[in-house]
């Protein structure tokens, strides 16, 4: 029986081949993958574990936390704080930077994560995920401050997501393309199943929460109206629409068969620039999408070029197949 290429083996090969991965990064990523396997098991248990409910607490975004939001956050911390490679961590579920306890060795990397993405789907048995981003810590050996985390997405060392779907997958980039791995539960390893993932430049599929249509700006109104008009409209072809409400699942679909995903700027809440968070949703996903030949923009700016101003900053997101994202961006010019 053939084992295939495990993720551990793949990273060792990449380190030898391209030289961009260090021993330290490999150790850190190994702990991240362990966290994702533990989360996969927790989610797989479903209602059997009795943890599918809401908590009374809210996270820093003012969203009601689910039991699994908190549990998955704790799994990540426990798996990664002992790696010896981290200076600090930040997550959707923690208002402030997480300090590595002083009894553990600290390292040169920062880890930012959304431990459970699409959590509104968790108790209806629809795909959810985990998103992570690794940055360098340029500072000294002291505990990092928020300002140390506020690096543009172009400075990410690695980014990836785990998708807890009909199978569990891990998709990773270290800036040398994008590769996808499927969890083989019999051996407890992620095995390379989707080498060199690329996003087709053209697509006939778009994803947006249409219930927000009345709040969209004119460029997005125009783009969606033209898609919906289909064969008899200006695009001259029929489009298909999908909305899972788990960004990880949407991005994964786009990596496999193309498409455009939009959570654009809207007027629903003027205090929010968008719904999705820059540091642990938009940036890692944009790194992956660009590495797969796609494009990612706010409509007005490349997401990876944004200088972050806060850990939990929100941004508009338009990403996916290059030609379609370029079209949406062109509709924003002059608006």
CB 115 within 8 A of CB 73: yes
Closest C-alpha among 115, 154, 111, 152 to residue 135: 111
How far apart CA 182 and CA 189 sit, in angstroms, is: 8
Cβ closer to ligand AHG: 88 or 118?
Answer: 118
Question: From its phi and psi, is residue 4 left (phi > 0), alpha (psi between -120 and 50) or beta?
Answer: left
How far apart CA 242 and CA 134 sit, in angstroms, is: 30
Residues from 35 through 94 that contact ligand AHG (CB under 6 A): 92
How far apart CA 179 and CA 78 sit, in angstroms, is: 26
Residue 148 sits in the site that holds ligand AHG (CB under 6 A): no
Residue 283 sits in the site that holds ligand AHG (CB under 6 A): no
**Residue least distant from Mn ion (Cβ):** 117
CB 286 within 8 A of CB 274: no
Applying CB under 6 A, among 57, 125, 209, 267 the residue interacting with ligand AHG is 209
Cβ closer to ligand AHG: 114 or 205?
Answer: 114
Cβ closer to ligand AHG: 107 or 259?
Answer: 259
Residue 245 sits in the site that holds ligand AHG (CB under 6 A): yes
CB 288 within 8 A of CB 171: yes
Shortest Cβ 84–Mn ion spacing (Å): 27
CB 39 within 8 A of CB 169: no
Q: What torsion do the CA atoms of 206, 210, 215, 216 make, to the nearest 10 degrees?
A: 10
Residues from 90 through 109 that contact ligand AHG (CB under 6 A): 92
From the list 74-82, 110-118, 161-169, 266-274, the region that binds ligand AHG by CB under 6 A is 110-118
CB 73 within 8 A of CB 94: yes
Q: Specify the residue for token string 């208002």.
A: 95
Q: Which does 246 bind (CB under 5 to 8 A by kind): Mn ion, ligand AHG, none?
A: ligand AHG
CB 286 within 8 A of CB 322: no
Per-residue binder mask for Mn ion (CB under 5 A), 99-138, x = binder: ---------------x-xx---------------------
From the list 114-122, 158-166, 287-295, 298-306, the region that binds ligand AHG by CB under 6 A is 114-122
Residue 168 sits in the site that holds ligand AHG (CB under 6 A): no
**Residue least distant from ligand AHG (Cβ):** 247
How far apart CA 222 and CA 202 sit, in angstroms, is: 18
Shortest Cβ 192–ligand AHG spacing (Å): 26
Residue 119 sits in the site that holds ligand AHG (CB under 6 A): yes
Residue 118 sits in the site that holds ligand AHG (CB under 6 A): yes
Q: Report the 10 Å Cβ neighbour count for 81.
A: 20
The residue ranges that bind Mn ion (CB under 5 A) are: 92, 114, 116-117
The residue ranges that bind ligand AHG (CB under 6 A) are: 92, 114, 117-120, 209, 245-247, 263, 275
């Amino acid at each position: 029986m053939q084992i295939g290429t495990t993720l551990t083996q793949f990273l060792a090969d990449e380190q030898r081949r391209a030289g961009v991965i260090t021993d330290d990064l490999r150790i850190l990523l190994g702990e991240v993958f362990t966290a994702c396997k533990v989360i996969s098991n927790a989610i797989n248990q479903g209602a059997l574990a009795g943890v599918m409910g809401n908590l009374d607490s809210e996270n820093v975004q003012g969203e009601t936390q689910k039991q699994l939001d908190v549990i998955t956050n704790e799994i990540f911390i426990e798996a990664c704080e002992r790696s010896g490679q981290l200076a600090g961590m930040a997550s959707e579920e923690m208002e402030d930077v997480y300090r590595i306890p002083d009894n553990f060795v600290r390292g040169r990397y920062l880890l930012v994560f959304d431990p459970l993405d699409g959590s509104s789907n968790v108790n209806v048995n629809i795909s959810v995920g985990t998103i992570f981003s690794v940055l360098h810590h340029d500072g000294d050996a002291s505990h990092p401050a928020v300002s140390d985390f506020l690096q543009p997405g172009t400075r990410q060392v690695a980014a990836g997501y785990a998708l807890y779907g009909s199978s569990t997958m891990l998709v990773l980039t270290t800036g040398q393309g994008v590769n996808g791995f499927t969890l083989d539960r019999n051996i407890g390893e992620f095995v390379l199943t989707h080498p060199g993932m690329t996003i087709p430049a053209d697509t006939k599929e778009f994803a947006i929460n249409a219930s927000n249509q009345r709040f969209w700006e004119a460029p997005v109104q125009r783009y969606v109206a033209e898609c919906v008009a289909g064969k008899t409209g200006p695009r001259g072809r029929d489009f298909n629409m999908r909305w899972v409400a788990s960004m990880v699942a949407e991005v994964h679909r786009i990596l496999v068969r193309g498409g455009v995903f939009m959570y654009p700027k809207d007027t629903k809440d003027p205090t929010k620039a968008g719904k999705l968070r820059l540091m642990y949703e938009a940036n890692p996903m944009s790194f992956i999408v660009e590495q797969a030949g796609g494009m990612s923009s706010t409509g007005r700016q490349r997401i990876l070029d944004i200088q972050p101003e806060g850990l939990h900053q929100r941004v508009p997101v338009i990403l996916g197949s290059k030609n379609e994202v370029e079209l949406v961006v062109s509709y924003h010019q002059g608006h």
